[in-house]
């Protein structure tokens, strides 16, 4: 096979013509395909329908400590659910709060309270500083960057290496500038690359010197039990323990949720941190609400039962979505391997794969795909300010489409990639 990069202009033109004719065949099919967001598919949601069975609550609405879940109270979550999360996250029960359905919601609130009130009792609110900056390993989760965008927090992109953020760059930014107040991290099966931070990266994050003494790590462990392969399971180090050992106990805020264990939109979420940070947050949250939806928490605790049962449930999720990740990899390999125009990640867990191509092609691929009926995550969305400096990265979300339409989508995607690359290289 000749690499695109080794082809003459004439050969590229011929290849381009063939690709356009394939592309037009797809276009004539009037497709309506969507791979834009990493959501569970219907079969995954169906695994959880039993949570609404009468037998789950059995007319018994009392939590194990006797609190009636239907009434006000228990600001930090019901004990039986806290115990399950504490075991899964290897954190003590007084270092976490179980909350409503969305961890993104808690991240947003933590940032807005830090801006308005500061991160500890006698700290200055971040809004009183002339500028507030966050380190943003990129590509990353678009909605983290959207929170920074909303509040005018300046985003400092840092490149991602195969074992996590470029720590030389992170340490330099953190130590030099007191307005650098935090970093976004998706440390296990990251969105979008699906990589897990190495122990060395976690240790450096925990130990590094920061000019701001109110620096915080926003540790979004969204994919903490989301393994695709039992035998290739990856686990990120415990940031809370590492920060404690390094003498920086208040540095990390850990977030997780059951959005991709039970239901996005009707699950439960968790924040974990030092006891001091959790107590401080509780004092503020109790002004905001008299208690979370404890009926849903109780339903979750009774339906999910234990950490071990959650791992079993996650194996069933993996059986549904693993073939989709494998299908994406096999179409990419079949269509693009050896052509010198593409590389992609093959994660052992999470919801995403990251695809890189020739510089300056990602937006063109997105447009070509859209015009043929395939919606992709917008090119650039996984970078601060929506700007991918190389315009060459696309997030692939394989979980939602049924296998047949996923394969069709990926063949169309690969045609678009090759058209864009041929056009670029011809110039």
Residues forming the site for ligand PLP (CB under 6 A): 38, 102-104, 141, 186, 191, 220, 222, 257, 259, 264, 269
Task: Give the C-alpha distances (Å, rounded to integers) separating 73 from 65, 67, 70, 110, 289.
Answer: 12, 8, 9, 21, 9
Q: Which is nearer to ligand PLP, 133 or 226 (CB)?
A: 226
Which helix (H) or strand (E) is 418 found in, with range? helix 403-426
Q: Which of residues 40 and 249 has its CB atom nearest to ligand PLP in the complex?
A: 40
Pairing label, strands 269-272, 96-99: antiparallel
Q: How far is the CB of 220 from ligand PLP (least distance, A)?
A: 5
Min separation Cβ 186 and ligand PLP, Å: 4
* Shortest distance (Å) from residue 15 CB to ligand PLP: 36
Distance CA 171, CA 210 (A): 8
- CA neighbor of 393 nearest in space, from 340, 356, 363, 358: 356
- Is the Cβ of residue 95 or residue 220 nearer to ligand PLP in the bound state? 220
Give the nearer residue to ligand PLP in terms of CB position, either 249 or 347.
347
d(CA 225, CA 137): 22
Q: How far is the CB of 175 from ligand PLP (least distance, A)?
A: 26
Strands (E) across 56-199 are located at: 96-99, 133-138, 154-161, 164-165, 180-185
Of 67 and 262, the one with the shorter C-beta distance to ligand PLP is 262
Q: How far is the CB of 147 from ligand PLP (least distance, A)?
A: 11
- Measured between its terminal Cα atoms, the distance across the chain in Å is 22
**Closest to ligand PLP by CB, 125 or 264:** 264
Pairwise CA distance, residues 27 & 371, whole Å: 7
| Cβ 142 to ligand PLP shortest distance, Å | 9
């Amino acid at each position: 096979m000749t690499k695109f990069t080794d082809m003459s202009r004439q050969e590229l033109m011929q290849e381009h013509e063939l690709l356009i004719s394939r592309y037009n065949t797809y276009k004539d099919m009037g497709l309506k395909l969507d791979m834009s967001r990493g959501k569970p598919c219907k079969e995954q949601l169906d695994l959880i329908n039993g949570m609404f069975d009468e037998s789950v609550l059995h007319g018994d609405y009392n939590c194990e400590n006797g609190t009636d879940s239907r009434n006000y109270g228990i600001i930090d979550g019901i004990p039986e659910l806290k115990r399950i999360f504490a075991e899964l996250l290897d954190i003590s029960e007084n270092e976490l709060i179980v909350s409503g359905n969305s961890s993104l919601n808690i991240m947003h609130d933590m940032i807005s309270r830090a801006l308005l009130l500061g991160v500890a009792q006698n700290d200055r609110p971040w809004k009183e500083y002339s500028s507030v900056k966050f380190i943003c390993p990129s590509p990353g989760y678009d909605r983290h960057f959207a929170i920074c965008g909303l509040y005018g927090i300046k985003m400092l992109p840092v490149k991602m290496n195969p074992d996590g953020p470029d720590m030389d760059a992170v340490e330099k930014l953190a130590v030099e500038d007191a307005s650098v107040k935090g970093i976004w991290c998706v440390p296990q099966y990251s969105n979008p690359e699906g990589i897990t931070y190495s122990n060395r990266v976690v240790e450096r994050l925990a130990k590094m010197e920061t000019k701001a003494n109110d620096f915080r790590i926003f540790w979004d462990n969204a994919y903490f039990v989301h393994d695709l392969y039992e035998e290739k399971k990856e686990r990120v180090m415990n940031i809370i323990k590492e920060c404690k050992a390094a003498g920086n106990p208040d540095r990390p805020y850990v977030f997780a949720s059951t959005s991709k264990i039970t239901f996005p939109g009707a699950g439960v979420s968790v924040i974990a941190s030092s006891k001091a940070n959790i107590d401080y947050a509780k004092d503020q949250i109790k002004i905001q609400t008299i208690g979370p939806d404890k009926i849903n928490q109780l339903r979750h605790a009774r339906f999910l039962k234990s950490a071990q049962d959650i791992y079993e449930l996650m194996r069933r999720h993996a059986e549904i979505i693993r073939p989709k990740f494998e299908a994406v990899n096999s179409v990419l390999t079949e269509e693009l391997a050896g052509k010198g125009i593409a590389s992609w990640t093959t994660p052992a867990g999470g919801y995403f794969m990251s695809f890189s191509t020739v510089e300056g092609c990602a937006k063109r691929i997105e447009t070509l795909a859209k015009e043929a009926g395939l919606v992709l995550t917008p090119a650039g969305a996984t970078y601060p300010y929506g700007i991918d400096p190389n315009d060459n990265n696309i997030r692939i979300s394989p979980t939602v489409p049924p296998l047949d339409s996923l394969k069709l989508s990926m063949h169309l995607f690969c045609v678009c990639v090759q058209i864009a690359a041929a056009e670029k290289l011809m110039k």
